[in-house]
Structure 1
């Protein structure tokens, strides 16, 4: 309690000053009405909706609202475009707003992704036909539940990472903050749907140290861009490849529906990761140095993610599902080899789109580590 009081005591003088001023005016029965003064506001320039409704893009076209600064100097809660200059001396400084440079979090597609995310939200309770879930043979059900255990384990960390950085992004970059909130909701829903699928089919199975260390590396990434690279571009990119193979992996139409819905969400997160890295590199004061720094980080990061994607608790259940049963696991491993090669190639393509070619330096082998392609 003493710590709490000492932290808040510093605000007491400012609170008292503002309270006394407001209370004194109210006692006099006086109205301020200063907020009606539009001299310094972008008043009267009304936003007009487009065919999709009134989007961030539409309101950003109104002069005074769409100018996104290269560096945020307003480290408080005042809305971008509001009248705030004359109150600067009385504004608090929010110490946690540390991502003050736009290019530490911005991506040129973030507004579009935000609108798409809102339009394509779904409900894991009612939009999945749970009552139609078919009973599978024991080996296929265990493989499905193990895969869902893996996905349950990773999806919440995919929400923890943007949450870690969300409160560090100033209000001037509201579009990024808005998109990251949708990613949090997506990941919560993914954790929910895979947990429900496992328990509806038999139960959660095994966690894995390899998964855990990869997830910790994402959370502990030293910068937002580095963590976004590990999570959105690489890690979720590999998960996206699994979802895209849902028709081959999923053994019930319920599972196919789960993969289909998660696929559309995951694709947004990956798309943000690609263009966030591209924007960061494109605007780096010393682009060659920034690229080399990211390469050094990727040299290590790829190995961390590679470790988790070679865990038996992921590779073997997917092989059983691809093969069609435990007795066909060898055929499934051949399918795994093809899936691996496709996943790595898609990762390299994403790096190319970001202007960050890893083809000559990638530490993840194009051929599967288990030697079947």
Structure 2
């Protein structure tokens, strides 16, 4: 005997759904975001009118409340073609500052080397705070229709939190401590947070600021005094490379789709090159306090400062060359040929 009540269910909601019958298939790397960009779910609007937080591809709900906080609603303002790849890589290459750094390999250093390393760690703590804080402010402003780019920025926030804690741990792990703040965050680096446009922020932070820091991280094999420091810099470099790639690919997309913004972007690059890359706020620059710490570490002590400074000059040159290659890759390389950029001249001075 069936005692179940005779219910008159309203299942009309089942008719108001996104595209049905979708069956995404995993690839060699599993089921990635790229694999599920199929059908309507993979269609990106040029301009998003989604103000309710509706997942892209889901059916609309007329009575849904407006969140009304999405100021980045144009694809041109945020998009990059490899966002899904960068996000998946960020997930697959996570690491722990507690267990993936061989802290036991750190042994007492001479005072000058410990002080120099702690000064550098203090500086990186400052700038990585900005590099995590700024993207976090922008995430909530981006339409959910462009969630792939949002996800990359969210992964960056996690990366930068890890960078902050690993450099803080190193400063406190070997009898030293944090030193006086460098003041870098009160100049060009700090001004990144004042950006009024996402592309302005990204060109300042991802392309110029993080690009300069990436070169320094890649020099960790020379700067590090033990396996722990070398691995710390190496792991930070792999994260930083993703952040820089975000900015370059975003500029490349804009170069191809928004010619009306080319001069605006050139102006952002002008500012970065004059204030950060060739000016005093470059951590490896001639007027930076951190450059002295770097020279001491590169030379193996104060007594070898001249040799360390010679290596530092080579790092500056590499820093500028890598920046040029990134900007050329983004489509804005003409500035290095028409005399607009001071970077080629600065490289010549370092040769």
Task: Give the TM-score of the pair, scaled to structure 1.
Answer: 0.86
Confirm or deny that 1:35 pairs with 2:21. Answer: no
- Cα contact 1:214–1:307 (8 A) shared by 2: no
Name 1:200's counterpart in structure 2. 173
Deviations 1:240-269 (A, max 9, x none): 101111111111111001011111100000
- Regions of 4+ moved over 6 Å: none
- Deviation for aligned residue 1:30: 5.8
**Partners of 2:345 and 2:293 in 1: CA distance:** 21
Find the residue that maps to 2:305 and give its secondary structure.
Answer: helix
Pairwise CA distance, 1:122: 0.5
Alignment size in residue pairs: 337
- Give me the whole-angstrom Cα distance separating, in 2, the residues matched to 1:119 and 1:272: 17
Residues 203 and 268 in structure 2, CA contact (< 8 A), matched pair in contact too: no
Aligned counterpart, 1:276: 250
What's the secondary structure of 1:124's corresponding residue? coil
Query: Which residue is equivalent to 2:3?
Result: none
TM-score by length of 2: 0.91
CA contact (8 A) 2:127 2:184 kept: no
Q: Which residue of 2 aligns with 1:233?
A: 207
1:52 aligned counterpart, secondary structure = coil
In structure 1, stretches of 5+ residues that fail to align are 1-28
Distance 2:232 2:289 in 1: 20
Maintained 8 Å contact 1:206/1:313: no
> Any idea what SS the aligned residue of 1:46 has?
coil
Matches of residues 74-113 of structure 1 in structure 2 within 5 Å? 74-84=50-60, 87-88=61-62, 90-113=63-86
- Over 3 Å counting, the alpha-carbon distance change for 1:236 and 1:352 in structure 2 is same
Distance change in 2, residues 1:368/1:318 (3 Å): farther
Shift in CA distance, 125/65, structure 1 to aligned 2, threshold 3 Å: same
Q: Is the 8 A contact 2:321 2:347 kept in 1?
A: no
Q: Is 1:170 aligned to residue 146 of structure 2? A: no
Match of 1:186 among 147, 156, 159: 159
Say which of 24, 28, 36 aligns to 1:59.
Answer: 36
| Mapped pair 1:297 → 2:265 | no
**What are the Cα deviations for residues 271-293 of structure 1, in whole angstroms up to 9, with x where unaligned?**
11100111122111xx1x42212
Structure 2 gaps, min length 5:
1-6
> Aligned equivalents of 1:205 and 1:118: distance in 2?
33
Report the counterpart of residue 109 of structure 2 in structure 1.
Answer: 136
Distance 1:238 1:70 in 2: 32
